[in-house]
Amino acid sequence: MTLKTPGQQSRGFLCVRLFSRLISVTGVFLLAVTMYKIKNWDSIYENSESKKYKKLSWVAVPNKHEGKGWGRMVAQKNNIHLFCGWNLIVQIASKCNPRGSLVDDGKALTAEDMAFMTGFPESLFKVCLNWFSDPKIAWLEDLRKSSEISENTPVEQNRTEQKRTEQNNKRAFVRPTIQQVQEYCKERENKIDPEKWMDHYQSNGWKVGKNPMKDWMASVRTWEKGELNATNQQRSQSTIAQNNQPEPGKYAGLTRKGW
């Protein structure tokens, strides 16, 4: 048997340590870049109500039991565990940013993270992440391959929000009906004549100044301020006129000669 010198043993021990370090670093790196999102989140788990909120305390889950993915899941022996794990993943994703992803502060959520968040076993999430990301199922997809990856950073989030605002502003203006104007004026308890307001904007092609109208309710509120100012001005002029009137009988009996 050949004995290794202390130098050879030292070099061998160093190689083992470097290899172990490499595995550790590589494992952490792979874990960090694996960002999942639920496929077709917006069309399946969002509705008109959920889109009103930035943060959700609930999530809309479809009640359909069909499709190849559903059939494959039901056919598994651990189908109950998969079904339970999937619903937990959906609930977690509803609270992430971007919504529908498994990302927190720009970092991928691990099975350990999700176990800590829900109180369910880490092993359940390991199985589910692996199973639902399988190409045959593809209920989970890599966020990096999605256009939503740009929304991970605050700068891109602001740009996305700005684009949505611009798109909303570009939507075609819908002219209100006389009933809508009447109801809004009643709600505001103002003194505006709805028919007069409608006639004015119908005659000028629904323009505010030289610009096309974008928000008819804002225009009503502007008119409301104008009507209030006009009313106050009339009251002020009436008060001045009353103050300038001579008191009854004060100058009775006086002639021009006696002034």
d(CA 118, CA 109): 12
Beta strands in 31-82 (DSSP E): 36-38
**CA 48: distance to chain centroid?**
11
Question: Is residue 179 helix, strand or coil?
Answer: helix
Residue 234 has pLDDT above 80, yes or no: no
Predicted local confidence at residue 170, as pLDDT: 59
Predicted local confidence at residue 56, as pLDDT: 85
Residue 184 has pLDDT above 80, yes or no: yes
Predicted local confidence at residue 251, as pLDDT: 53
1 or 222: which carries more pLDDT confidence? 222
Predicted local confidence at residue 236, as pLDDT: 58
48 or 119: which carries more pLDDT confidence? 119
Q: Which two tokens stand for residue 242?
A: 């009353």
The DSSP letter of residue 249 is T
Predicted local confidence at residue 144, as pLDDT: 77
Predicted TM-score (pTM) of this structure: 0.48
Q: Which two tokens stand for residue 189?
A: 């308890």
**CA 97: distance to chain centroid?**
10
Domain ranges of the chain: 20-154, 178-239
Tokens 């009503």 -> residue: 220
Residue 101 has pLDDT above 60, yes or no: yes
Q: Which two tokens stand for residue 67?
A: 């499709």
Average per-residue pLDDT for the chain = 77
| Phi, psi (degrees; rounded to nearest 5) at 131 | -75, -45
Give the mean pLDDT of 199-223: 90
